[in-house]
Amino acid sequence: MGSIVAIVGRPNVGKSTFFNRLIQRREAIVDSVSGVTRDRHYGKTDWNGREFSVIDTGGYVIGSDDVFEKDIDKQVELAIDEADVIIFVVDVTSGITPADEDVAKLLRKANKPTLIAVNKVDSNKNMLDATEFYSLGLGDYFTISAINGSGSGELLDAVVEALPEVTDEEEEELPKFAVVGRPNAGKSSFINALIGEERYIVTDIAGTTRDSIDTRYNRFGFDFKLVDTAGIRKKSKVKENLEFYSVMRSVRAIEHADVCILIFDASRGFDGQVENIFWLAERNRKGIVILANKWDKVDKETNTIKEYENAIIERIRPFVDVPIVFVSVLNKQRIFKAIETAVQVYKNKSTRIKTKVLNEVLLPEILKNPPPAIKGKYVKIKYITQLPTPQPQFAFFCNLPQYVKDSYKRFLENKLREHFDLNGVPVSIYMRKK
């Protein structure tokens, strides 16, 4: 659960091609349906029954022709910090370049499992050329062709072997709430206000908290773990792609959490970077609560709560059934409400609806509004059941599942939300053949 594999290397060696092959599901195709552009350089894959996240660091360098060495170095350093296993991609056709040696030097110093993937090996002659990569001093290498996929099986076997052991005790642990957001949104202050002690030295320098820290919160009948990720920091350089840092920092915390408490600074607005973190949590099917912090600083004449809420909802369509709480961490305003809401979302996420109830409630709704006929064929939905998964997923059994369009699935989701409390929880709907 939650292991991260990072793909590093200099530009133009085929990192993204390899990344796309790994996550296969070409998420771009899925995303274009809901019309949301989301982060294309982070995805999930599984091999031999082991699921892990893959991050393509190459996607975060802007202007790949004149990439500064130090930009690549920064990304490799960050990958070393965050990843469990690193895949270092090199190109057999160009041999070892100074940039490769540079990356190798950083990787040798790090004590992280690193696998060299020699890309563009598509003939026996190339096989021989690959031997020179031994001299990088990172041990054995794997020859692959990212374009046609040859060799990636052996590489992935090695990746899975190098991943940390999965422990079972994670399962019965307390619910985990991750506090996520941009730097300086008030994440550490929020946790301090809850716990009532200055556990974090909070200064106005973005990124003063480096690692995510877990704190147990046990009072007023609540018992859960708070995970602070205050390390999501924006770098001062405009040259590099800033989202990379926020994504890398958020990924692990979000993956390990049950509910994400997304804090943003209301006086600065719900901007693209906040939105990215929101979609990251949504794509991982986590419960979500949005906290608009520093509400005391917002000019109330021009911004009523309702207008402000609507502006956020516009940005997070189609998943708009998300609680938004307006707080001032500094004045300790409504922070208790924020925690109550997060606990409620956690309960909603583990909602189990009896099959009988589902069918009694939804079949009449479906009769009133059946799926539109396609090519004269009528879709008949006969039966609905909730799947035994950690978050709400529903299977609708029908005669022609392939004819049910996304817009109708959204209609079904809205009906589910109307009748059952699924506030703050992403819902998955599957059409199955009866």
Q: Provide the annotated binding site for GTP.
A: 9-16, 56-60, 119-122, 181-188, 228-232, 293-296
Residues sharing a CB contact under 8 Å with residue 100, sequence separation 6 or more, in sequence order: 9, 10, 90, 136
Report residue 394 as tokens: 């529903």
Q: How many CA atoms lie within 13 A of 400 on its CB side?
A: 14
186 alpha carbon, distance to own chain's centre? 21
- Between CA 254 and CA 276 the distance in angstroms is 12
Report residue 381 as tokens: 């939905």
The burial of 228, by beta-carbon neighbours within 10 Å (0-12 exposed, 13-18 middle, 19 or more buried), is given as buried
Report residue 416 as tokens: 């589910």
Backbone CA torsion sign across 33, 34, 35, 41 = negative
Contact 381, 373 (CB under 8 A): no
Residues sharing a CB contact under 8 Å with residue 208, sequence separation 6 or more, in sequence order: 188, 200, 201, 202, 230
- Between CA 167 and CA 1 the distance in angstroms is 9
Q: Terminus-to-terminus CA distance in the chain, angstroms?
A: 32
Report residue 158 as tokens: 């090695």
Q: Which residues are documented as binding site?
A: 9-16, 56-60, 119-122, 181-188, 228-232, 293-296
Q: What are φ and ψ of residue 258, in 5° steps?
A: -95, -40
Any idea what the Cα angle at residue 10 is, between residues 207 and 91, rounded to 5°?
Answer: 150
Contact 78, 4 (CB under 8 A): no
